[in-house]
Chain A
Amino acid sequence: MVFSSLEFLFAYLPITLLLYFAVPFRFRNLVIFAVSLVFYGWGEPVYILLMILTIIIDYVCGYLIGKYRENDRLAKRILIISVVANLGILGFFKYYDFIIKNLALIPFLSFLKPIGLELPIGISFYTFQIMSYTIDVYRGEGNVQKNIISFGAYVTLFPQLIAGPIVRYKDIDEQLNEREHNIRKFSDGVRRCLAGLAKKVLLANVAGEIFSKILETPFSRLSAASAWLGIILFTFQIYFDFSAYSDMAIGMGKMMGFDFLENFNYPYISESITEFWRRWHISLSIWFRDYVYIPLGGNRKGKFKTYRNLFVVWLLTGFWHGANWNYVIWGMYFFVLLVFEKAWFGEILKKIPTVFRRVYALFFIVIGWLIFYFEDSGAGFEYLKCMFANPIVADQTALYDIVRLLPFLIVSCVACTPLPRKLYLKLYDRFKAFPVAMSVVSACFLLLSVAYLVDSSFNPFLYMQF
């Protein structure tokens, strides 16, 4: 089930909220666990079993690590079992076919055939989330969760089960046992959720649909202007889509009293690639930092090891995004840029005006998304040629679309900046009527979003494949 769908908004959500607030606090985690399993199973009922298996394995491991805390060697072994089990499941379901397809390229292994396994939804997210539990417990940074229901609720928490933010156990530990519910939080959650819904339906989907249309043109006939328009629309689409999902996750979490960490911080205003990765998919960066980079030594073991550690993190980051070589290339692409900035260019960047820093960053971000989008690198390269080495610079189609889409593009650009929010906060504190008016506006945006959902056949969810 997708958040931006009518059955989610008008069946699942009302029923969930009703059940959640109808029961006394001590049963609320049970409600979460139950409804989240339904949410998860809606798309793929079979994989609920896999989810439950993972929960049991890590619940037991967590318990044992807590019990044998004194015996570090044993505790470590149990941790390793947990990590291997989790990564094994992730590796098998997500990467088995990829590995087989590549091994089959070797002549004497050509008999190997992929199985065609369907990827369990959200497996990359919840695997990372559940791994943070045993690791945090082992490190003493989180308490053993004795209550398997609460633990199950943590793992399956439907707001962020499918596309994050990846919530580390230690950040939510206490909230599982105790959290506050009040109108302030609930209304903040509602506002956040509706903002995300509007962003997804009115901006992300629209951008995506036009980009799809552009891709229908044979690349031999595609003008450079259209190619650029297309990849810029995808740049908008992926940010609005993914951050909207996080908005809705954070919003719905808040309605139920949870405070999740922010996952995006206006990434497209970044002035360097280094900064971009502090603002994009923050929870993933933090996860890799805490569980891979720092354990490997971070930047404290000398230059060579720092670069090696960065290399490992970016190889894994790329690979996490998909079982395909283009994602690995994408990870490496950013590794090179980050090292470039770290070793030399970063200093130079500081000396050039802000606007050029932003153009530099955006340029490489956009090219990055091209690598990310085209799983078929051959097609990606063709598209790149359309952008840079194209005899047809602009044609009627490109010009017509750019002009008619100007209002939409301008709105999208502004939506990538903190300006609207800053203005909102300013007006909120200044005028008494503004907050009330904005509450009504939020409701109107909900209705408008519904209009788009009712009349739409196009409602993809990009990060669904993770």
Chain B
Amino acid sequence: MDKTTDNTDKKNKKKENVRQEPAVRVKAADMIVSVLFLLIIFGFGIMIYVLPQKSFSEDENRSLQTLPSFESPGDFFKSLFSGKFGDDVGKFYADQFPARDVFVGAKGVFEAAMLKGQNNDVVFGKDGYLLTRFDNSDEELLKANINKLDTVLSKFDVPRYMIIPPRTQDVLLTKLPAGFPTDNADGLYERLDGIMADTSFGYIKLRETFIEEDAKGREIYYKTDHHWTSLGAYTAYGKIAGAVGFDKADDFNIVTVTEDFFGTTWSKAGAKWISPDSIQIYDTPDRESFHTDIMKYRDGSDEILKTLDAFYDESFLETKDKYAYFLSGNYADVRIYKDEADKKREKILVFKDSFANSLVPFLAVNYDIRLIDPRQYTGTTSSLFEGENYAFVLCCFNMDFLTTNTIRMA
């Protein structure tokens, strides 16, 4: 800090801008901060290479960036000059950082301690509920998606219905923290009503019913995941039965298949202190007569990849992504049958996202089902209708999906 100055003007300026340091130096403090600093940056810096690399994160359900590798020096320079190498290294450090889960949890704790009420847009709700916050949604995209579905499906002379499972923040009003804004959702659903009125869909509204059920204390959505519970799906099933006019089944045996489900919002929120969910299924007495064929290809051809017992894939109960227990996750083309030699069952066509996976066990009581995921299906829509006589078509896409994905249908 000692500087030679050559005129008073400069001296005065310097006085203003000179940073005051403590009068007394404490050598131990200086040593400690330096040593800790170096230990941390060298320690973690080395550990990241010494520890084995992970290629997939169970907690976050995504693949992780591993150390970038190159076939040749030419490859390396290409990657370097395009900036990709720099990006990949950045991702590598973020994904492979030692004790990553501890750090993510630490941030969650700190954000909660600062009383911010949320972390990474996941709100810490009441009773251990985690709800993703959506202030604004892409309503242009919502309208475009709905109109796309309407346009494509109106070419076929089959009754069509649409349900739009809401997001947790839209319906779990008793779980939202005090003062949480509900007007954003109110406005959105009002405008949604307008959009749906302009289509030829039989629009089956869910939001009001779900708000009522939540007010009654029914657990219609998971605490740690964005999906609805089987109870929530059952409630929706009841609404569909009412709108379409078929008999709603109510003879079920409720079975808990796991009590250790940590869902998507739990991963995102870093809220490690939140307790897990349990997953229930609603079994019918004739459960063994149902089976699910998951098709191998995405273009609608008839080769089967695997067949599930009833509607469930037990292997997922051992992993983190337990919701995939329902229908083994999302596939382009899934077909559900019941072995019934005597009666000829009706069939329905369902265009869906993951919410339909836990709804299907109910609908299957009444109908055989063909499920198409438009994100993956590569065939034409008309081929789905060829030679089929569907009782009705159902579109099931949740609000988050419709406001963030672009639906493509041929």
Contact = CB atoms under 8 A, between A and B. Distances in A.
B37 A443 contact: yes
Most buried by A among B26, B37, B81, B97: B37
Interface of B: 1, 3, 13-14, 16-34, 36-38, 40-42, 44-45, 48, 80-81, 83, 86, 89-90, 92-94, 97, 100, 103-104, 106-108, 110, 114-118, 120, 135-136, 179-184, 187, 270
A439 B32 CA distance: 6
A320 B197 CA distance: 53
A405 B116 contact: yes
A91 to B, nearest CB: 25
B30 A184 contact: yes
Name the prevailing secondary structure of the A interface residues. helix
Residue of A448, A450, A455 ringed by the most chain B CB atoms within 10 A: A455
Contacts of B83: 43-44
A404 B114 CA distance: 9
A7 B26 contact: no
Given A436-B28, A446-B36, A451-B106, 7 more contacts: A7-B90, A10-B48, A183-B27, A262-B17, A432-B26, A450-B44, A450-B103
A397 B183 contact: yes
Contact of A10 (B44, B81, B179): B44
A7 B93 contact: yes
Interface stretch (A185-193, A231-239, A375-383): A185-193
Contacts of A6: 90, 93-94, 97
A216 B135 contact: yes
Contact of B16 (A188, A278, A442): A278
A42 B32 contact: no
A190 B33 contact: yes
Nearest to A278: B16
Contact of A452 (B16, B90, B107, B115): B107
Interface in A432-462: 432, 435-436, 438-440, 442-443, 446-448, 450-455
A440 B104 contact: no
5 contacts: A5-B93, A11-B93, A184-B25, A187-B31, A443-B37
A421 B40 CA distance: 25
Contacts of A436: 26, 28-29, 32
Contacts of A184: 25, 30
Contacts of B104: 451, 454-455
A7 B19 CA distance: 30
Interface of A: 1, 5-7, 9-11, 13-14, 17, 42-46, 183-184, 186-188, 190-191, 194, 213, 216-218, 221, 259, 261-262, 265, 278, 282, 286, 395-397, 399-400, 403-408, 421, 425, 428-429, 432, 435-436, 438-440, 442-443, 446-448, 450-455
A1 B83 CA distance: 11
Contact of B115 (A183, A407, A455): A407
A194 B40 CA distance: 12
A446 B103 contact: no
Given A395-B181, A396-B179, A450-B103, A14 B41 contact: yes
A428 B180 CA distance: 43
Nearest to B121: A213
Contacts of A450: 44, 97, 103
Contact of B32 (A7, A11, A440): A440
Contacts of A432: 26
A291 B17 CA distance: 20
Given A218-B136, A429-B23, A439-B36, A396 B16 contact: no
B93 A440 contact: no
Nearest to A226: B135
A46 B183 CA distance: 50
Nearest to A46: B81
B61 to A, nearest CB: 16
A397 B184 contact: yes
Nearest to A17: B38
Q: Which of A17, A43, A439, A443 gathers most chain B CB within 10 Å?
A: A439
Contacts of B24: 428-429
Contacts of B41: 9-10, 13-14
B179 A403 contact: yes
B114 A408 contact: yes
Nearest to A446: B40
Contacts of B116: 404-405, 407-408
Contact of B110 (A187, A438, A440, A448): A448
A439 B29 contact: yes
Nearest to A403: B179
Nearest to A1: B86
A413 B209 CA distance: 45
B21 A188 contact: yes
A418 to B, nearest CB: 9
Nearest to A213: B135
B22 A425 contact: yes
A278 B14 CA distance: 12
B81 to A, nearest CB: 5
B266 to A, nearest CB: 14
A436 B106 CA distance: 24
Nearest to A118: B83
Which residue, A6, A191, A213, A278, has most C-beta atoms of chain B within 10 A? A6
Contacts of A442: 33, 36-37
**In the A-B complex, the 9 residue pairs with the closest CB atoms:** A435-B29, A396-B181, A187-B30, A439-B33, A6-B93, A443-B36, A435-B26, A10-B45, A451-B103
A435 B181 CA distance: 45
B16 A265 contact: yes
Nearest to B115: A407
A14 B118 CA distance: 34
A217 B28 CA distance: 52
B10 to A, nearest CB: 10
A217 B114 contact: no
B32 A10 contact: no
A316 B139 CA distance: 42
Contact of A454 (B29, B37, B97, B118): B97
A137 to B, nearest CB: 17
Contact of B45 (A11, A221, A448, A451): A11
A436 B32 CA distance: 7
B269 to A, nearest CB: 10
B33 A455 contact: no
Contact of A262 (B19, B28, B97): B19
A261 B97 contact: no
